[in-house]
Structures are given as structure tokens and as C-alpha cells.
Amino acid sequence: MAVRTILHYPDKRLRVKAEPVREVTPEIRALVDDMAETMYAAPGVGLAAPQIGVALRLFVIDVAPADGPSDLRVFVDPTIVAREGTTSWEEGCLSFPGIREDIERAERVTVRARDLDGNTFELTAEGLLAIAIQHENDHLDGKLMIDHVSLLKRRMMDRELRKRQATQQPRA
């Protein structure tokens, strides 16, 4: 297992639409281990493969309380098949360090995916788990948190993150 580098906005790889995971191989299992380790080290509650530069339809989520046991969930080739209601949630994103914004999403979702044994499952979620599923699923389609905010907030976030990136670039 290894902690991978998380891509930060405006990295263009975050906009790439992810490809299906055709088969759960030992390499995919190792990738999931790395993703979990990376997510926990960040720390975060979810991480999609595109956030570490791997354009595959795969994400991990663990919304268990910090003082509770792990509840790692793996979603291979997920599809949200139902959405109900609306809610607003203050979200953060590992690809947008230090940024938190109120994002409107479905209150309840049903997702169909495969697990690491290749078995298809369906899960209906609400609360933080529903938010995390929608957030990570967006990453698989190249959609980012910034796409859910007003034009004014989008410009402010973009400017702030580009300024941070410029000050972190090594000088030649």
C-alpha cells in the first residue's frame, strides 16, 4: 500500500471522464488499497480514482466517525439509479484543499455498483453517505465541486486556487 499524490484543481486530469473497470484484478485491488490509504492520510471521507490520476470508474468512501471503527466502502463502476429530495451540505474536496462550499444535492440516492469480488450490489443512502456518493460519482464524469456553485463563487474559487498553485510552483 502507498499514499498517492492527490491532484489539485485546476489539473486537467480531473476533467477526464473515467473508463469502466472491466475486471477486478489484483492491480485493481492494489489500487483500492492505495486509494484507501491516501484518503485516510489526507484525511478525507471519499476518494475517486481520477483524483489520483487514474481514469477508472472507481471510488472509496468511509463516513464512519473518527473515533469509531472503519466502514470502508468500495464502489466499482457505480451508477446512481435514483435520486430523491434535495438538501444543501457544506462540502470539501481533497482536490480543492481548504475550500468548503454549500452544495445542493439529492437528499437520498440509490447507487448500483460492484464490489471487489465482482458482485453487483445496490445501496440506498442518505445523509453524509449520500452526499459522498454523489460527490465521488461526479469525479468519475469529470465534474467537480466548483461546477455546483454560482458563477461568482466559481470565479473566486478558481482565482484563489490558481494563486495558491502559482505560489507553490518551484522557481526555475
| DSSP-based three-state secondary structure for 141 | coil
Residues of the chain where predicted confidence (pLDDT) is lower than 50: 171-172
**What is the model's pLDDT at position 135?**
98
Determine which one of 23, 37, 104, 136 is catalytic: 136
**What is the model's pLDDT at position 5?**
97
Full DSSP string of 53-91: T--BSEEEE--S-TTS----EEEEEEEEEEEES-EEEEE
Helices (H), the chain: 26-41, 127-140, 151-168
**What is the model's pLDDT at position 132?**
98
Cβ contact 83:108 at 8 Å: yes
CATH architecture of the domain 12-168 equals Alpha-Beta Complex (3.90)
Buried residues in 88-107 as b, exposed as e (16+ CB within 10 A): ebebebbbbeebebebebbb
Q: Phi and psi (nearest 5°) for 127?
A: 65, -150
Instruction: Show me where the domains of the chain are located.
Output: 12-168
**What is the model's pLDDT at position 170?**
55
**What is the model's pLDDT at position 158?**
82
For this structure, is 136 an active site residue? yes
* Reported pTM: 0.92
